[in-house]
Amino acid sequence: MKTQNLLLILLLFTINCSPIRDYPEGLANCESIRIENQKSNPGKFIHTSPQCLIGYHIPKFETHTLSGDKIQSKSLEGKPSIINFWFIDCKPCIEEIPLFNDLLEEIDPTSVNFIAIGRDGKEAQEKFLKKTPWNFKHLENGEQLIENVFQHTWGYPKTFLIDKEGIIVSVYGGLAFKDRISLLKSEILELLEAK
């Protein structure tokens, strides 16, 4: 009887405790996919998409918002998050801003973390955001976060949808299309309903 109970406990523990797949493992997964694709296409430039990061935890980071509030990756857990990577001279990035602002009007901004990581410096972003309001939390040190933490090599714009545990569940490029922003909205609502 004790052996059966022990086996049942072990089985339940195994089912409920899947290992956390860290971001460096996701980057390694992306690189292995790129290498395999390169072998199949010798002489061609092969680039992977960030889809290879789906299922991996976001990287650990700590910084401040442009308004000076401290923010870290751990503080995003407990709510779904949208993390958008952008820069000022990126036309498709700018085209997404009104759609993101509309999304914020449709979804309670206290129930989702809306984060933007811009490649431009703090002063340039603040000047831009005065002319073009964008109601996300904008992070300082964007270039450092993009290059050294997220190791972003996928082009712009990119948007990661993160679940309540900090796991990347979807990746979007170019949301300035109604069908894509609608899909993102429906995925956010699903995450909000999930327990």
In this structure, the strands spanning 70-72 and 158-162 are unpaired
Q: What is the pLDDT of residues 143-178, one digit of tens each?
A: 999 999 999 888 899 999 999 999 999 999 887 666
Q: How far is CA 182 from the centre of its chain?
A: 17
What angle in degrees, to the nearest 10, is found between the helix axes of 91-106 and 178-193? 40
Give the percent of the chain with pLDDT over 90. Answer: 64
CATH level 2 (architecture), domain 59-195: 3-Layer(aba) Sandwich (3.40)
Q: What is the pLDDT of residues 113-125, one digit of tens each?
A: 999 999 999 999 9
In angstroms, what CA-CA distances link 100 with 24, 31, 40, 68, 97?
29, 31, 39, 22, 5
Q: Is the pLDDT of residue 3 over 50?
A: no
Domain boundaries, the chain: 59-195
Q: What is the pLDDT of residues 15-48, one digit of tens each?
A: 445 567 899 998 898 888 888 888 888 887 766 7
Kindly tell me the sign of the dihedral angle through the C-alpha atoms of 96, 101, 106, 108. positive
